[in-house]
Structure 1
Amino acid sequence: MTYTSEDWPIAAALLQFPNTTEDGTSVQDLPAEQWAETLREVVDAGFTEVDLTDGWLRPGDLSPARLAEFKDVLREVGLTAPAISAIRRSVIDPVDGDDNLAYSHRTLDAAAALGVPLVSVGLHRPLTEQQRSVLWFWTVPGPQDPVGDQETWDRAVSRLRELADHAAGLGVQLSLEMYEDTYLGTADSAVALLTDIDRDNVGLNPDLGNLLRMQRPIEPWESMVAKTLPHANYWHVKNYYRAEDPATGAVFTTPAPLESGFMNYRKAVRYAVEHGFQGAFCVEHYGGDGLSVSATNREYLRRILPRRSAG
């Protein structure tokens, strides 16, 4: 189908919601009504769609009975989920890659059980202790995929292809989230990895905000958009203020609302739509009342997306 500004699915991320309660109880173990309380906040912010970001709750680790409860909760509060985003579960993590692969398979099964049409995965790994200790984690370098290591690249291709084939059997799409210092960390590398995987149900999640915020030189965002958006089947969108000092080479970045940051999303979205993008959006924002800023981002997207044609 062809979406317009009125009905384009725009989901809230769940980045603002922790995976444990104040008393240390895991969200996995909460009664369904407490899940509903959290999701009603998303509804109260004006959303009808939600990205099931697994930093809050992991659908892939719910029992069949609890997964059915969760499906009922989504229906009860009036939310649909265009995607599950599996975060920091790299299938080539040198320590946890095997476990992450198994978890990703379980997440695909959970998506099918919930009626979620897409799972977004990436190659980024958990934050380091140093990254967790600073205000903005991206100001400290994190784990990096080994550059020029053909064996590791081939393992990424093989394991992501394995997930794609499983997803295809379930009628689910797979999306690859771009993230700095991974094999999905530049436009060229992301497209090359997608090409090597070579599966029709796999596309890119060009989360270019993850690259805009790097405090070092970056490829022009217009170039990244042109290379990646024609391959996109889902899109995490967020923006950053970016200041560069040419005298010293210092770069400073901080989160920004979608319409006022460094990247011109009006231009990027127009390009994406003109090149066939019909995936859902997921609006994200770090810091402050991120859910409310995400709601503002949603309304900005509604203003710039194509309107329903007359007649």
Structure 2
Amino acid sequence: MSKYKWTREDWPIACAMIPFAPTLPDGSLVQDAPAEVWADALAQVAEEGFTELDPTDSWMRVADLEKSRLDEFKAVVKEAGLTIPAMSTSRKCVIDPETGDQMLAYCHRFLDTAADLGAKEVAFGFFGPFTEAQTKELWFWLAEGYKNPDDPDTWKLGVDRIRELADHAKEVGISIAMEMYEDTYIGTPESAVRFVTDVDRDNVGICADIGNLVRLHRPMPKWDVMLAEVAPFMKYWHIKNYIRDEDPATGTYMSAPVPIEFGIINYREAIRMALAEGFASPILLESYGGDGLSVCGKNLQTLRRILPRA
């Protein structure tokens, strides 16, 4: 019998829907499309070998579907042979000075929808919409993005609102993972640990998406140093990888997405580090650029090979 919650054969590894656009060629939203459009996307996910799905809300806001349409979505997920162990929000910042109240209400709906779909964990974050400069770059992380203010009152607001969501989440049997993302309160290991410690809820931890950090064109601690600090707090884990090069003589940096076995983060070792600290949550695979879905499928094969044996 394995000493872990799951083994390489049955560890829940979900595919993110970020390789799929939120709009159709005619400009209409996937949100409003017939269920057949959803079914086509999910069939492609299943064809890559996935049995789990995260209906990432950058693709479609399932939390905003009417009941009849949510029932259609459930049927499509079942028909594709998929389950939903966890769900992620993207750029839904509950402390945004303009839209924070709206985002907080959305996140409460998101929790109820996640529970309805059978998910046991969700990922929230404090990163906001793309800036205009980011939309013009080949890779959005090359331009300056949304930042959380260095302000004790806003920090406290964030703590209070995540506590509120955590208490709701506990009522419906869900844990929350706060996603690591640059220039937010979860933007460094030290700040992430401090934040979830301030929240002080046993169902709140860290989504250790250090891929978001190693891709940045700025000085960055080594991946294993960052992961070691947050590993005791890890919950739902977003996994992706990048090549990274640095030239200290000129201060230049380079990064680009790659399959997880080829990048700067050694996920064979990262998984061992996480498991040593008791990690026992679903995993999400993401990839940007090109055929991201095929890359996620390749990454699924890699994880099935390096997760613990039965």
Shorter chain as denominator, the TM-score bin is: over 0.9
Counterpart residue number, 1:64:
67
Q: Which of 282, 285, 288 matches 1:283?
A: 285
1:59: Cα distance to partner? 1.2
- Secondary structure of residue in 1 paired with 2:261: coil
Tell me the equivalent position of 2:27. 24
Query: Is 2:122–2:236's contact at 8 Å kept on the other side of the alignment?
Result: no
Which residue number corresponds to residue 158 of structure 2? Answer: 156
SS in 1 for 2:186: coil
Q: In the TM superposition, what is the alpha-carbon distance from 1:279 to its structure 2 partner?
A: 0.7
Identity %: 53
Gaps of 5+ in 2: none
SS of residue in 1 equivalent to 2:206: strand
Q: Match for residue 300 of structure 2?
A: 298
Residue 198 of structure 1 corresponds to which residue in structure 2? 200
Q: Which residue of 2 aligns with 1:239?
A: 241
1:300, distance to aligned residue in structure 2 (A): 0.9
The answer for the alignment partner of 1:214 in structure 2 is 216
Instruction: Tell me the number of residue pairs that the alignment of Structure 1 and Structure 2 aligns.
Output: 307
Residue number in structure 1 paired with 2:8: 5
1:184-225 CA-partner distances (Å, limit 9, x unpaired): 000010011000111111111110000101111112211111
Give the partner amino acid of 2:133.
Q
Alignment-mate amino acid for residue 41 of structure 1: Q
2:33 matched to 1:33?
Answer: no
**Secondary structure, in 3 states, of the residue corresponding to 1:53?**
coil
Q: Report if the CA contact (8 A) 1:13-1:50 is conserved.
A: yes
Deviations 1:67-87 (A, max 9, x none): 122111111111011111110
Residue in structure 2 matched with residue 102 of structure 1 by the alignment: 105
Map of 2:137 onto structure 1:
134
Residue 80 of structure 1 aligns to a residue whose secondary structure is coil
Deviation per residue, 1:57-113 (Å, 9 max, x gap): 111111122112211111111101111111000111122111111111111111112
Paired with 1:143 and 1:56, the residues of 2 have a C-alpha distance of 20
CA–CA separation in structure 2 for the residues paired with 1:210 and 1:52: 20
Question: How many angstroms apart in 2 are the aligned matches of 1:28 and 1:283?
Answer: 22
Following the alignment from structure 1 to structure 2, what is the Cα–Cα distance between the partners of residues 243 and 233?
29
Between the aligned partners of 1:276 and 1:156, the Cα distance in structure 2 is 27
Match of 2:116 in 1: 113
Please tell me whether residue 274 in structure 1 is matched to residue 276 in structure 2: yes
Is the Cα contact below 8 Å between 2:15 and 2:285 reproduced in 1? yes
Quick check: 1:9–1:280 contact (8 Å CA) kept in 2? yes
Contact in 1 for aligned 2:211/2:242 (Cα 8 Å): yes
Q: TM-score, normalised by structure 2?
A: 0.97
Could you tell me whether the CA contact under 8 Å between 2:147 and 2:184 is conserved in 1?
yes
Partner of 1:168: 170
CA distance in 2, matches of 1:298, 1:134: 29
State whether residues 230 and 275 of structure 1, in contact with CA within 8 Å, keep that contact through their aligned partners in structure 2: yes
SS state of the match for residue 141, structure 2?
A: helix
**What is the Cα-based RMSD across aligned positions, in Å?**
1.0
Give the distance between the partners of 2:41 and 2:114, measured in 1 at CA. Answer: 20
* Alignment gaps of 5+ in structure 1: none
Provide the rounded CA distance (Å) in 1 between the counterparts of 2:120 and 2:200.
19
Contact 2:54–2:85 (Cα < 8 Å) also in 1: yes
Q: Deviations over 1:240-265 (max 9, x none)?
A: 11111111111111111101111111
1:76 aligned to 2:86?
Answer: no
Is contact 1:164–1:201 with CA below 8 Å preserved after alignment? yes
The answer on 1:47 being equivalent to 2:50 is yes
Contact 1:67–1:114 under 8 Å retained in 2: no
Structure 2 counterpart of 1:142, which letter? G
Shift of 1:282: 0.6
Q: Secondary structure of 1:81's partner?
A: coil
